[in-house]
Structure 1
């Protein structure tokens, strides 16, 4: 992004569960959901800045306060996609991330040429195909075909889905529920703070105090003198 704030389109560390969606495949549908919630959070946080005295004064002087606030909000949320070293092939995950940010309220000028569902020959865009990718229908279709053609390969590739009891018919509902939850409450639930451990593990030796060092030297002297008296060591 060359203008506006940081939108989080950079790669992130994937977690096992995201809003009830098991992170089992690195695909564009989970990427869309991740960046949808990031942008929804930033949009919610942005509303607090308009409560400042500066914006209240501008609203009082302007005949249409909602108009000036909308202009400022649009300017702040306007930016351009900088893909960097990411590949820009049709259906690439970077465009799924952009779609999630746009659905979250960010204004990114774009076309539909790189979305799934665009036909280069007819130069037409099928929004239903794109929607199917967002809700994981291409994964569901692949699950059904693989289960019929090669059950053993299906068990290997979708072993975690089988373990969690997820079938092809449930995938769309899982993502619909996740998207509805993101739009209803984009805030991340705070994890309870862990109590500090009673005793911390130490991987290095603790430094001896002055009294302990003197005692250690005295013990070595006493042990050495005892060996001399016993004849084990020549004086």
Structure 2
């Protein structure tokens, strides 16, 4: 990991704030965020950003890159809980709990905005708008997990995979990582297997079914959605039309 104090992305001119997916901040709130940010951190693909049961002094917002949240059992079995993209707050559990209950690992080379954990209370104390924003972020993460739990409990493997691809496409589109039905796909079949709760062999067979039905194609780290309507019908997928979301 490499932390930088110079050449930081200025919060006022942050490229993420130019995207319609994110809610604009008032002047005083933006001033606070600029002071709250202590630096930027660059991590390589495969690096651990936060570790389960770790008491990290920092929270992070992803500025560039992909990461994934996961929890591992004692015997090494891993459940991918969710994927994280630019604008996502990493380590929010540390704002209220003593340590992290899951790990977050970079899927690609990733740039993070760094915030001091011990300053979080001042958000709730002095900036109710930002406090609501953090609560909103936590509620949205719960909403995303609701969809994944339904998949694990009720959808077939084919439906789960279809749902996950559309879910990732819509989130990636908000931050410029998907367009024209083409999705950047830095994750492996192993990541999908651990997210879907099925074996790698089952994942491979399920992908093949989507290929054969000409619903998707996957080449060179890119997934193309060939028939979104059919994929959405198969997955019982309904896009969540969020209002612009907070960016901290």
* TM-score normalised by L of structure 1: 0.22
Which of the pair has more CA radius of gyration? 1
If each structure's strand is expressed as a fraction of its own residues, which one has the higher value?
2
If each structure's helix is expressed as a fraction of its own residues, which one has the higher value?
1
* TM-score normalised by L of structure 2: 0.21
